[in-house]
């Protein structure tokens, strides 16, 4: 049920995918702990090799250029990266203008239309609502 499409990535695709997460997380100039936790979770979910995760962490200080990363990735990988990049951008509670700008560039690279991008944003919002319910079930709010 929770095996994601990212599990099937080649090592280079997995690396590019994780790099995009880092680029989006640092787009607003500050990488917060929530974003870091999200990226680590996504790398875990894709079952990325621990050594590759170490490589990715070293890029947190100086993220690679978006276009260079996107050039290596297929539209399919870019779409999956776009979906998860929106989750990363949303994790600190709001979308920064630089994050939105970056997400739009990824959408363009993936061939995703404006309306479709809005649908992805709506999907993320629905996920937030679902996740918040768990805190209510657990009486943590």
Interface with another protein by CB under 8 A: which residues? 1-5, 7, 33-34, 36-47, 50, 54, 75, 79-80, 83, 87, 90-93, 110-113, 116, 119-120, 123, 126-128, 130-131, 133-134, 137-140
Distance CA 38, CA 41 (A): 5
Closest CB to another protein among residues 62, 130: 130
In order of 11, 41, 49, 118, 138, the CA distances from 53 in angstroms are 11, 11, 6, 30, 32
Tokens of 126: 């629905």
CB nearer to another protein: give 61 or 129.
129
Return the H-helix or E-strand segment holding 24. Answer: helix 11-25
Comparing CB distances to another protein, the nearer of 18 and 69 is: 18
CB of 45 to another protein, least distance (A): 4
Measured CA distances, 47 to 24, 43, 56, 87, 114 (Å): 21, 6, 14, 18, 31
Minimum CB distance to another protein smaller for 11 or for 111: 111
Q: How far is the CB of 17 from another protein (least distance, A)?
A: 14
């Amino acid at each position: 049920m929770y095996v994601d499409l990212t599990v099937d990535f080649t090592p280079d695709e997995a690396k590019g995918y994780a790099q995009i997460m880092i680029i989006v997380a640092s787009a607003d100039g500050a990488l917060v702990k929530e974003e870091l936790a999200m990226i680590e979770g996504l790398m875990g979910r894709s079952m990325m090799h621990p050594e590759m995760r170490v490589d990715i962490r070293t890029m947190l200080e100086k993220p690679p250029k978006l276009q260079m990363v996107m050039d290596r990735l297929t539209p399919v990988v870019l779409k999956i990266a776009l979906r998860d990049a929106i989750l990363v951008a949303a994790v600190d509670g709001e979308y920064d203008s630089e994050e939105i700008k970056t997400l739009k560039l990824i959408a363009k690279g993936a061939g995703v239309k404006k309306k479709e991008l809005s649908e992805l944003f709506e999907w993320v919002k629905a996920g937030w609502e679902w996740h918040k319910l768990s805190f209510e079930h657990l009486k943590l709010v």
